[in-house]
Structure 1
Amino acid sequence: MVQGAGWAGGPTPAPARSDWHAFGGDSTEQHYSPLDQINQGNVSQLGLAWTYDIDTFDSYTQPLEVDGVVYFAVGNSVIHALDARTGKLLWQYDPDVASQPEAKTRMRAGWGTRGIAYKDGMVFTATREGRLVAVDAKTGKLRWQVKTLDEAENGYITGPPWVAGDVVVTGFGGADYSPTRGYVTGYDLKTGKKRWRWYVVPGDPAKGFENKTMEMAAKTWSGEWWKYGGGGTVWHAMAYDPKLDYIYIGTGNGFPWNQKIRSPGGGDNLFLGSIVALNAKTGEYVWHYQANPGNTYDFTSTMDIELADITINGKLRHVLMQAPKNGFFYALDRETGQFISAGEIAKQNWAKSIDPVTGRPEMNPDSLYLDGKAFVMYPFPNGAHGVQAMSFSPKTGLSYVPVMDGGRVVVDPANVKDWHYRPGMFVNTGLGAPPANLTVPSASSRLVAWDVAANRIAWQVPEPGIFNGGTMATGGNLVFQGLNDGSFNAYSAQDGKKLWSYAMQNGMLAAPMSYSLGGKQYVTIITGFRSSYANTPNWDYRQQKRRVMTFALGATKQLPKAEVADAPIVDDAAFVIDPAKVKIGAGIFNTSCVICHGVGMAAGGAAPDLRKSSIPLDAAGFAAVLHDGALMSRGMPGFGNLTPEEIEGLRHYIRQRARESLAAK
């Protein structure tokens, strides 16, 4: 049973809410709209009301709607304001990320922006290279901006800021790449003045600790962890409870992933893989729950955090919910941090069980890949649940989670003691190369409806491919979700039956939102797809139909016919491949380029397919893009750290992959 009235002014969403003014709708972050004009009985009449084509390289962002205006940011944090009835552009603000001195390095990681924030007539975005920016919601004029990555040399920002009372809070990412110490910072809403900063992991003990909390956390680390930064970046999830005035943050992995390197004596390594409650006014620590003590994987607790009031075992609980990467769905008391429950939503083999009282996991010793023994671990680093938002319906008591079932081989490097990170924004996991004879089955995906009170799966439906979009639940007992096959679907919130579908001409990762104007309910989603893996269908980077799409009952607008041509693989017969150079290029590609340009160079929409690009055929042009950053405004960073030999090696590796692909046809 879910209580709809809230608790003494708590954050349960009011039924009258018609706007969508936060990442998850309101401060509960439930991705739930109480609007019910569109419901199970009439959703079949839903039609396209308006569209807006986006000229960008990346669009998997959560839109907002306030007072008749739809706001969103795409690509290099370019904010747009549209008329919510018609889709007409009202204004656009470009923070000019590509020209910033730090951008060339910071843009080497991260994928655009996942969302923005709104409060008191201002729109807030955090830019990839490290600024927090506030603009006037009516005019799009800059109000203030501040550099927030002043202590994170190789950090970057892809997550949205969060509003907590009169404070705007932002974190950052980067702990997969280089020595990084995570922190979050709160800024005055009106002026941008820094109010507080809270560090996730302790720093060098010789320099003293910022507070008693960091002194306590240091006792859970060993070795000289501070030389690696420690990690724990807060690169996405937060939520705010106005009753308690707590801001909840979800923390990330350690750097490197492998604990035997960063903390060789073990320990819980606080506050990695945790949910932490902070006082929103002061940034002071209140409580924490650590899902993954030690966290020797890429299991992060940075997925969306949602708040609700739920009756569990006959008692009203003020619940914080999260489904992090590790395959479990957690419910905590958001006032005290007390563990309530955890249940498996996906295949996992890292834990034997979760203690029902303490919430502490009993580890599967095989998952620690001791003595160089390789282990096929579930879930994979993409997570059982990634950044694609889940939603929660106070009407059904169910949370709707896009789930992935996939595994990965984990093993120590040949000599753990001699491991050192490779600078230059390459992925540095601290793991070794998988044995050639150890294979992993193909991953799959599902939409899972999780009964929070009963701690079990209520229903589930299989979905195509691996990565699918975020979900939204509504008062009309519907669940909306965009899929990687290009369909935008509405399901029954009670049993998962598909009730409506629309062909969007593009895959989706973003979550929808809903709002009401003039007595009419609208549903809006932004199309755009990216993956490190090729998909079926595969959404070509250069031909994607990135759009804002808005639906209403009885609307009849039609999309133009989609014209998609399969671009051919290009080659130059006069190009002579040097195997030694291929080896150099393969090492570069598979530790950095693969994230955007695709496993095996088969791009999945995040970036162009290099086998089909003519740029690598020209040495000077390739160097201008790759080394000098000629296409930074379109999202391609500059890798000034690469040597001429490494750049030439990449050209030879690209040619080899192109010819291998042509021969396989």
Structure 2
Amino acid sequence: MGRSMNRVRRIGRLGAIVGFAMLMGQAAPRGAERLLDDSDGRDWAAFGRTFGEQHFSPLADIDETNIGRLKLAWYADLPVGNSVSGPLAVDGVLYTATGYSVVRAFEATSGKLLWEYDPHAAEAAGHKLRQGWGIRGLAWWNGKLYVGTQDGRLVAIDAKSGKEIWSALTVGKDDTRFISGAPRVFDGKVIIGHGGADVGDIRGYVTTYDAETGKMLWRFYTVPGNPADGFEDKAMEMAATTWAGEYWKYGGGGTVWNAMTYDAGSDTVYIGTGNGAPWNWRIRSAGKGDNLFLSSIVALDAKTGAYKWHYQTNPGESWDYNAAMDMQLADLMIAGRKRQVLMTAPKNGFFYVIDRTNGKLISAEPIAKVNWATRIDLNTGRPVEVANMRYEDKSQTILWPGPNGAHNWMPMAYDPRNAVVYIPKLELPGTYDDRGIDGKTWKRIPGAANDAAVNINLDSTLPGAGTSALLAWDVVKQKQVWSVPTPGFWNGGTMATAGNLVFQGQADGRFNAYAAATGKPLWSFDAQVGVLAPPITYRAGGRQYVTVLAGFGSSGALFGEKVARFGWDARTQLRRVLTFALDGTAKLPPAPPPFKAQPIADPTFRADARLAATGASVYGVRCLVCHGLDVKAAGLAPDLRASPVPQDKAAFESVVHDGALVPNGMPRFEELTQAELDGVRQYLRTAAHGFAMTAQKKASR
């Protein structure tokens, strides 16, 4: 009795439920105990392993002394589709969600495929297919898996059979909301957010459902709606005082497309919110107000969804500096005091430590090059902005970091033993201005992949631009422990283990392990393709395994040559589940030759600069996010400089206008006029012609 009660006190409110059930001889909720931060590590049952999202495992069978024996145990080839998501492992079964939310179950020790579930999300998505690149992960609770879909469904699947149990449409059927992030579970509930504010007049929210039945329990909006319609709660009434103009006509944004964390001790859900819609504060809110709850961490009562507190990283957000990056929980000794903290590294370049009981800022320091603010004021919690960082004088303003952020969605890992986080850091500035944009007449372009309320360019010519690193950061001291350069601009999510190891995949096709204390490279595996997904580790059959999904894609594809140079092609690149164990005996087949786009003959091409300029405008707002800057794709979509499709008018229009490749993830753009279709064709053929001429010159040298 005494030991059980001590256990109850130690693991908090949810642990108390488990412990009480055990005392009374009842069955505890399956899944509750393994999701606690102090669980034994046998399973990896959530995106970040546990409720606290630490991406840390207490397993240490594989450690810094024997990492050289880590070998491939098995692999499984995957079909074409996004494979940068985080898998799960529960009770000896590995679960993956790839492409457009296709879920598979594998025997964890052998790689034997047990079942496959396909929600056919691409076909159902319609215009929602135009933004987003597939799913980033799934959730597990009480024998069920939960996955979101591009068309906005939340689906519950039986973990043993792969059969659908229930499905709930969480968004409007014809709005631009879509789901790309992993759901989170807690206390018999499952919560999901959505994306879409970059392409539509979207008002963000999260929705919580009963995990067993799919019944909607509560919804929390992240920005206020039209005051004339009344406010859903006191939080929205309060938030409305921080907006100006007719903000509700623009949606507002604040979508929760990625980050959600649960604190079992206080029964609190923390959500990380996105950028404004549109990005330009002067259009969105007449250049006035903080615009709550954009770019914020918001604490909600997990039972009711009621607002508890918030902390805003960027008041009046204007640069896509959203706060939707992963948030991790820990208990730390800071200045001689034990603090319950939330940690996050949002896009804006600062690392924040926040008191999770009340939302008060404890510390914030830059982890990358930052020039938009000199510091974060610890008394007010607000950034001290540099003049003209909001491009007020209409000149072009260079900001570090750019809209990609100093840290994007690829999760960091936190080692609770030494209070160090391991962050996939990015360095790339952006130039912003709103010249030629009239706030009084601006309207969103239907079907566009960005809101065009700000002119944005990514500047890779400056020193240090377009680089990345794996950064070890002391949370308490707010200082760098070590930093290791990583190849290219886009790097993978991280995992830390009690074996004193940090694992990370990289853009060049290596999957690496580092010494947690020093950053010394200890082990590397040639995955034969870029690795961006966060790795996991677990125990099955008495053996520790490490699994990562291999494949290159996600939003990094839009950065053109900075990532395209590694040669990962959307059609031909390998996509695999890779699983490792000590003394594994599996071998990959020989690697195919690196993809290199080859010019193709276009004998009927005729230059037409005016028509190509028309097409460049269409390409920039509809095609660039997948097919890349300067038509240099980076694994997410085909390289159209080397495609015969634009040469054939009928084939091109069947794909772009009629949607012939929707099942493959290529959306249809039926609203494009003939002139716009002709312009895009001309622009692509012009790019292909220039590519061919450049190749010809190089060959003749």
Q: Please indicate the TM-score interval, normalised by the length of the shorter structure.
A: over 0.9
Distance 1:591 1:113, change over 3 A: same
Matched to 2:372, the amino acid is W
Alignment partners' CA distance in 1, 2:527 and 2:674:
43
**2:286 pairs with 242, 258, 264, which one?**
264
- The range that moved more, 373-382 or 557-566, is 557-566
Q: Which residue number in structure 1 is paired with residue 499 of structure 2?
A: 476
Alignment partner for residue 534 of structure 2, among 508, 511, 533?
Answer: 511
Task: Name the CA distance, whole Å, in 2 between partners of 1:128 and 1:434.
Answer: 28
Structure 1 equivalent of residue 227 of structure 2: 205
Match of residue 109, structure 1, among 125, 128, 131:
131
Q: 1:434 to 1:344 in 2, by over 3 A?
A: closer
Q: Is contact 2:506–2:530 with CA below 8 Å preserved after alignment?
A: yes
The separation in 2 between residues aligned to 1:98 and 1:374, in whole angstroms, is 38
1:457 aligns with 2:459: no
Partner in structure 2 of residue 278 of structure 1: 300
Paired with 1:407 and 1:662, the residues of 2 have a C-alpha distance of: 30
Among candidates 105, 112, 132, match of residue 88 of structure 1: 112
The answer to whether the 8 Å contact 2:253/2:294 transfers is yes
TM-score computed with the length of structure 2 as normaliser: 0.92
Change (3 A) 1:555 1:622: same
**Selected match of 1:445 from 468, 471, 485:** 468
Displacement of 1:99: 3.0
1:9 and 2:11 matched: yes
Change (3 A) 1:56 1:218: same
Match of 1:146 in 2: 168
What residue number does 1:553 align with?
Answer: 582
Q: Match of 2:524?
A: 501
Question: 1:131-530 counterparts in 2 under 5 A?
Answer: 131-150=153-172, 153-417=175-439, 418-432=441-455, 440-441=462-463, 442-530=465-553
Task: Report the Cα distance in structure 1 between the residues aligned to 2:601 and 2:682, rounded to whole angstroms.
Answer: 11
CA contact (8 A) 1:513 1:523 kept: yes
Q: What whole-Å deviation, never above 9, does each CA across 1:284-321 have from its counterpart, x for those lacking one?
A: 11110000000011001001111111111121111111
Gaps of 5+ in 2: 1-6, 13-34, 696-701
Q: Secondary structure at the match of 2:127?
A: helix
Q: Extract unaligned runs of 5+ from structure 1.
A: none
Corresponding residue for residue 659 of structure 1: 689
Does the CA contact (< 8 Å) of 1:610 and 1:654 recur in 2?
yes
Please tell me whether the aligned partners of residues 372 and 414 of structure 1 are also in contact (alpha carbons under 8 angstroms): no
Cα distance in structure 2, aligned partners of 1:124 and 1:57 = 19
**Shift, 1:497, TM fit:** 0.6
Q: Provide the aligned length of Structure 1 versus Structure 2.
A: 658
Closer, same or farther: CA 91–434 of 1 in aligned 2, 3 Å = closer
Identify the residue that residue 600 of structure 1 maps to in structure 2: 630
Rounded Cα–Cα distance in structure 2 between residues aligned with 1:498 and 1:487: 12
Give me the identity figure in percent: 48
Are the counterparts in 2 of residues 197 and 283 from structure 1 also a CA contact under 8 Å? Answer: yes
Deviating more after overlay: 622-631 vs 294-303: 622-631
Q: Does structure 1 conserve the Cα–Cα contact (< 8 Å) formed by 2:273 and 2:293?
A: yes
Instruction: Give the distance between the partners of 1:634 and 1:492, measured in 2 at CA.
Output: 40
Confirm or deny that 1:635 pairs with 2:659.
Answer: no
- Residues 399-431 of structure 1, C-alpha deviation per residue, up to 9 Å, x if partnerless? 000001110111123243332221113311411
Q: Distance in 2 between matches of 1:151 and 1:127?
A: 12
Q: Does 1:70 align with 2:108?
A: no
Give the distance between the partners of 2:265 and 2:670, measured in 1 at CA.
49
1:186-235 Cα distance to aligned partner (Å, 9 max, x none): 11111111111110000011111111110100000001110100111111
Q: Distance in 2 between matches of 1:9 and 1:433?
A: 48
Q: Distance in 1 between matches of 2:673 and 2:142?
A: 49
1-structure distance, mates of 2:670, 2:114: 38
Partner of 1:43: 67
- CA RMSD in angstroms comes to 1.7
Residue in structure 2 matching 1:26, options 50, 64, 73 = 50
Contact 1:170 1:185 in 2 (8 A): yes
Determine helix, strand or coil for the equivalent of 1:469.
strand
Q: State the distance in 2 between where 1:647 and 1:34 align.
A: 55
Report runs of 4+ in structure 1 exceeding 6 Å deviation: 433-436
Show the 5 A alignment for 1:565-576. 565-576=595-606
**Structure 1 residues 265, 599: CA separation in 2 closer, same or farther (over 3 Å shift)?**
closer
SS at match of 1:107: helix
Distance 2:506 2:528 in 1: 11
Q: In the aligned structure 1, how far is the partner of 2:405 from the partner of 2:264?
A: 30
1:563 match? 592
CA drift at 1:152: 7.3
Q: 2:583 and 2:122 mapped to 1: Cα distance? A: 42
In structure 2, the residue corresponding to 1:416 is in which secondary structure?
A: coil
User: Secondary structure of the equivalent of 2:547?
Assistant: strand
Inter-partner Cα distance in structure 1 for 2:73 and 2:275: 42
Q: CA deviation at 1:519?
A: 2.1
Rounded Cα–Cα distance in structure 2 between residues aligned with 1:625 and 1:600: 20
Q: Distance in 2 between matches of 1:132 and 1:641?
A: 29
CA 225–350 in structure 1, closer or farther in 2 if over 3 Å, else same: same
- Structure 1 SS opposite 2:62: coil
8 Å CA contact 2:350–2:368 kept in 1: the answer is yes
Alpha-carbon contact 1:396-1:493 (below 8 Å) kept? no
Question: What's the CA shift for 1:150?
Answer: 2.3
